[in-house]
Chain A
Amino acid sequence: MHYNVIRRISGLLLGLFSVTMLPPMLVAFVYDEQNYRPFVIGFLAIFLTGLALWLSAKHAKEELRTRDGFVIAAVFWLSLGLAGAIPFYVSTMPSLSLTDAIFESISGLTTTGATVITGLDELPRSILFYRQQLQWLGGMGIIVLAVAILPMLGIGGMQLYKTETPGPVKDAKLTPRITETAKALWAIYAGLTVACGVAYWVGGMTPFDAITHSFSTVSIGGFSTHDASFAFFDSSVLNYTCISFMFIAGINFALHFKAAHSFNIKLYSQNGEFRAYASILLVHFLIILLGLFVLRASFGNSNIIEQTLFQVVSFATTSGFTSTAHANWPSFIPVLLIFMSFYGGCAGSTAGGIKVIRIVIMLKQLSKEVMHLIHPHADMPVKLDHHVVPRTIIHAVWGFFTAYILSFGVLMILMMVTGMDQVTAFSAVAATLNNLGPGLGDVSNSFASVSDPGKWVACFSMLLGRLEIFTLLVLFTPMFWRD
């Protein structure tokens, strides 16, 4: 382990993060809120910590090894979770306990979108803005941002990049140099955010709502500035805009890059993962629609198709925006929605969960196993987009799946130990591990009623989900720390 390099880079990253305290101050200034204190304290604390770490090892020249990348990613996300909580904790509006502040911060950064705050509509805008901004930063990943704009990371940047980007195939670089890849990703991300913000604004939101909601839509976070989430706006135009942008943000950004690079929209339909993604959404949409008709559920006056589509896309991409009281729908539907969050988003997008591509690989492998029973001598490699998927990747996917299910089980038991009932525990773990946000039962709207130990478990679960388990899990193996 190269503690010097780790300290130096963590210091740099914290320094970078401290800068993000400035936009909320600007918001406080624009709306004349006199609410500078949380952010000034946050800025100084984070900046000075970062500076101290950096100064203590600024001459470290060693190259970053694969192992150090894991430590940095884990240390950094943990410390960001804590650092991001400072403004929440210091602020008097809302006044949060330490646990709640950290929960809110981690939920933001991991783009989960679960909240412990109620009465959002009364909060100062600077705090609301800060919450949304946390999601936006966490969506594409601050480490990826750092790789893009801090050239001094060098080759180590690649190791870091791998630890943070989701998906089974991590070495697929879009451009020869990693900094260029990271820049391209952030450019697409920022471009989508701007487009989304403009669309919201045109669709009737106030500029403040449009900007803040574009942050949490493109990052697939799910925070809103209103307690009622999207139901607050009660507008079909906005609902459909949100659906579109969630759908776009749930697609692999590498695919966006390639399509934009070659001006070829056909690339989408040629991509196996995209097709699976679209079909999953469509099939679930039809199932739920059918279910609603058959069970003759009543919804009041709102449009059934619009609401169903919104919930399906919101849950599948793990955004977690709500436009209606989904928990009151016929009982199988909320559970199906929660299930969708496991497999609804593409790798390399801002979505959480297991990711479509892994499910596709596993299902294909499954069908090959069945075929193999019929033709014991056949050689049937798993193919994706006409290319054979290397065996090592298939093993890694199954390994990941096992780890995911195992983590899920352990976390769910832990949640029940803290006193939750079974439904709540199940949905709380799904909502946090998949970075979804809303669950069922007691946590269908907010995590405020969860006990403190329960919130800590949820925090861990959110980080585990965002870093795709292995990055965090590897730190718990004795082998990693030996020699």
Chain B
Amino acid sequence: MRIIILGAGRVGFTVASNLASENIDIVLVDKSQDVIDAASERLDVSVVCGNVSHPDVLEGAGIKQADILIAVTDSDETNMMACQVAHYLFDVPQKIARVRSKSFLDYQDQLFSANAIPIDVIINPENEIVNFIKQLILHPGAQQVLSFANDTVSLVETKCARGNQMIGKSLSDLSTELHGLYARIASIYRSGEFITPSYSTVIQEDDRIFFIATPEDIQPVLSSLFNQNKPYKRLVIAGGGRIGLGLAQALENTLHVKIITKSSDKVEQLSEQLDNTLVLLGDATDEAFLLDENIDRTDVFCTVTSDDETNILNSMLAKSLGAKVVMSIVDRNAYMSMVDNGSIDNAIYPQHTTIGKILTQVRRGDISSVHSLLRGKAEAIEATVQDNGKKSTIAGEKISDIKLPAGANLIAIIRDNVSIPTKGDLVIQGGDHLILFISDKSSIPQVEKLFQSTKSLFSRLVS
């Protein structure tokens, strides 16, 4: 498979480095020679320097053989133009583009179709981040909440902090504590390795636990098992950019929201667009200012500026001043391991929230969504078993008969929008959604194969 990525910025680079490790031919195109040089030094990809929407540049990047085009430059217009060119001149089957501007997105349905601007998948990192943070705030104690099959079930990551009542208990104890709630532990990440859970697995301190539950059950499960009780009430957002605004808009009717921005221009803009949010003009790194705003009684302090250093230091300051939970956006890879030690309760990595959507397109077989977990160490995949017509390799088989590769676990089945228990003698039917937890990414090709409809020899040769 050949993928062309336009724009070698943070998103482009992360996508390239994620995909390059999977035996995919990647060509990275950017207009800046320095950026391109740095990328070619660090990644096993080929690189082209030039204007990414120019046909000759795209041709030089080998777009004629490309299966997917991913346009993630800074400019919406460039991305859209590149997709147009790729569609009309080179007939690229899949086009993914980053479009951020709200005015374009408002007309999304009319604009982005094959006879207008041919983009198959739009990614909008800001939106995804807003959604991601919103889920974290609505589910205290969760490190990550990912929904599958139209919100039928969610995969939740939580950390087992010191003093938790579950430490030392086994998973069979756990099921008795649930009092009838349905939750299934999918995997446990302990000191750098994934443990496939069994009933005798004992939970230890600092375990990262992944469990599957329906959206309504997430909070009861979190509170009964991991004493993450009360929902958050008071939220302070530092940073009035697109993410800050989006977050405030999404949550202002459920929580008490304050938003802090340094720029007086933004203040007006924010207060115009927000009705139930207190918009504050000030420096969020100013101790006195934070104390005036009762930082010590804040449940969540969330820093979402575009500057990593400000975000991290700001969160740490708020934490020391008494904010209960601090969350921060961390963009740079180098800082990620620094904040993993717990100085920040929830570090949000924008690149990794975006990549899932791209991976969904890259995966072969009937994969309807992919989420990257623990900064790319693992993946959760939702696959659809094909209905009649095309014959999938696993429809009609018992679960116990499916040969899943080591490193891949079946963690949930959704049939007719209801999650059903994954018992060994259950027979898979067409239309079932299967959710798999992949802890070893080298097993992905085998998983893809399971959900690929058997191709004729001819189409195999063509592809």
Contact = CB atoms under 8 A, between A and B. Distances in A.
A158 B26 CA distance: 15
A171 interface: yes
B26 A176 contact: yes
A177 B47 CA distance: 11
A178 B25 CA distance: 10
Contacts of B43: 155
A23 interface: no
A477 interface: no
B44 interface: yes
Interface residues of B, number: 13
B40 A177 contact: no
A375 interface: no
Contacts of B44: 154-155, 157-158, 176-178
Contacts of A180: 25
B27 interface: yes
Contacts of A158: 44
A258 interface: no
Interface of A: 154-155, 157-158, 171, 173, 175-178, 180
Name the 10 nearest CB pairs between A and B, nearest first. A176-B25, A176-B46, A173-B46, A155-B44, A178-B44, A176-B26, A176-B45, A177-B44, A171-B40, A176-B27
A428 B31 CA distance: 49
A154 B27 CA distance: 17
Contacts of B26: 176
Interface of B: 2, 20-21, 23, 25-27, 40, 42-46
Contacts of A175: 25, 46
13 contacts: A154-B21, A154-B44, A155-B42, A155-B44, A157-B44, A158-B44, A171-B40, A175-B25, A176-B25, A176-B44, A176-B45, A176-B46, A177-B44
B23 A177 contact: yes
A173 B20 CA distance: 15
A240 to B, nearest CB: 38
A175 B26 CA distance: 9
Given A177-B20, A177-B25, 20 more contacts: A154-B21, A155-B42, A155-B43, A155-B44, A157-B44, A158-B44, A171-B40, A173-B46, A175-B46, A176-B2, A176-B25, A176-B26, A176-B27, A176-B44, A176-B45, A177-B23, A177-B44, A177-B45, A178-B44, A180-B25
B192 to A, nearest CB: 11
Contacts of A176: 2, 25-27, 44-46
B15 to A, nearest CB: 14
Contacts of B27: 176
A154 B17 CA distance: 12
Nearest to A392: B37
Contacts of B45: 176-177
Contacts of A155: 42-44
B39 to A, nearest CB: 11
Contacts of B40: 171
Contacts of A157: 44
A157 B20 CA distance: 13
Contacts of B25: 175-177, 180
Contacts of B21: 154
A51 B209 CA distance: 40
Nearest to A158: B44
Q: Which of B23, B26, B44, B45 has the most CB of A within 10 A?
A: B44
Contacts of B20: 177
A154 B2 CA distance: 18
Contacts of B23: 177
A377 B71 CA distance: 41
A175 B45 CA distance: 8
A265 B44 CA distance: 29
A402 to B, nearest CB: 24
A175 B44 CA distance: 10
A62 B42 CA distance: 14
Contacts of A178: 44
A420 to B, nearest CB: 43
A173 B47 CA distance: 9
A202 to B, nearest CB: 35
A54 to B, nearest CB: 21
A245 B40 CA distance: 34
Nearest to A63: B42
Contacts of A177: 20, 23, 25, 44-45
Contacts of A171: 40
Nearest to B17: A155
Nearest to B62: A176
A369 B26 CA distance: 40
Nearest to A172: B46
Nearest to B26: A176
B68 to A, nearest CB: 13
A236 B43 CA distance: 50
Nearest to B45: A176
Nearest to B28: A176
A177 B2 CA distance: 11
Contacts of B2: 176
A175 B20 CA distance: 13
A154 B40 CA distance: 14
From A154, A173, A176, residue with most partner B Cβ within 10 Å: A176
B362 to A, nearest CB: 15
Nearest to A173: B46
A155 B23 CA distance: 12
Contacts of A173: 46
Nearest to B42: A155
Contacts of B46: 173, 175-176
Nearest to B25: A176
Contacts of B42: 155
B30 to A, nearest CB: 15
Which of A173, A177, A180: most chain B Cβ within 10 A? A177
B47 to A, nearest CB: 8
A175 B46 CA distance: 7
A175 B2 CA distance: 11
Nearest to B46: A176
A173 B36 CA distance: 14
